[in-house]
Amino acid sequence: MVKSKRFWRQKPAKTYDIDHTAFTTGLHVFTDGACEPNPGPGGWGVAVYRDGVEITSDHGGDSDTTNNKMELLGLLRGIEAAKALGAPTVVWSDSTYCVNGSNQWMHNWKKRGWKKPGNEELKNIELWQSIDAALSGADQIIIRWCKGHAGIAGNERADELSNLGLASALQI
């Protein structure tokens, strides 16, 4: 299991100091999604870094989707990439929906038969179930939140790739 480090600290003014050196050692996978307008055409992106150097990337798109679906698809592809590395990896997302869903909510959804409280239907259930399956037996992968558009190279790259995916969806 990867030991959690504190990668940023909050200042009183609600801005963030980011320790960029935290991303220079080990394996880090950055994921992102984009949709414009929402719903509409969208894209996802994944950038994989080893010791601060990008080693691979991927992206894709859909002509009719939502932002949350693209964020989830990016996360799923990022988890799959991390699993293929076979080593402790941090998967980063700037989507609190993805991070909280993976780390907290998903466990309760499963207990309720993939329903939200009050037996409410879960949106994007197929993607959440795929993420759950991908995380099964992947105890060397942790999912963490990072602030988007804050100058984190991997996050900026994943954003760029998600926009390339969106552009490819517009060409379909």
pTM score, whole prediction? 0.89
Q: What is the pLDDT of residue 126?
A: 98
Q: Taking 70 as the threshold, does the pLDDT of residue 16 lie above it?
A: no
Token reading at 8: 């940023």
| Model confidence pLDDT, tens digit, residues 69-96 | 999 999 999 999 999 999 999 999 999 9
Confidence of residue 6 (pLDDT cuts 50, 70, 90): very low
| 32 classed as catalytic | yes
Which of the following is catalytic: 59, 71, 78, 154? 71
All domains in the chain, ordered by first residue:
8-171 (3.30.420.10)
Question: How is residue 44 annotated by DSSP?
Answer: E
pLDDT tens, residue by residue, 45-74: 999 999 999 999 999 999 999 999 999 999
Note if 52 is an active site residue: no
Q: What is the mean pLDDT of the chain?
A: 90
Q: Beta partners for 56?
A: 48
Catalytic residue flag (residue 159): yes
Q: Phi and psi for 21 in degrees, rounded to 5?
A: -65, -20
> Is 139 an annotated catalytic residue?
no
Active site residue 71: yes
pLDDT-based confidence at residue 2 (cuts at 50, 70, 90): very low
Pairwise CA distance, residues 129 & 109, whole Å: 10
From 15-19, 31-35, 37-41, 149-153, the region with the lowest mean pLDDT = 15-19
What integer pLDDT is reported at residue 17 of this predicted model?
Answer: 61
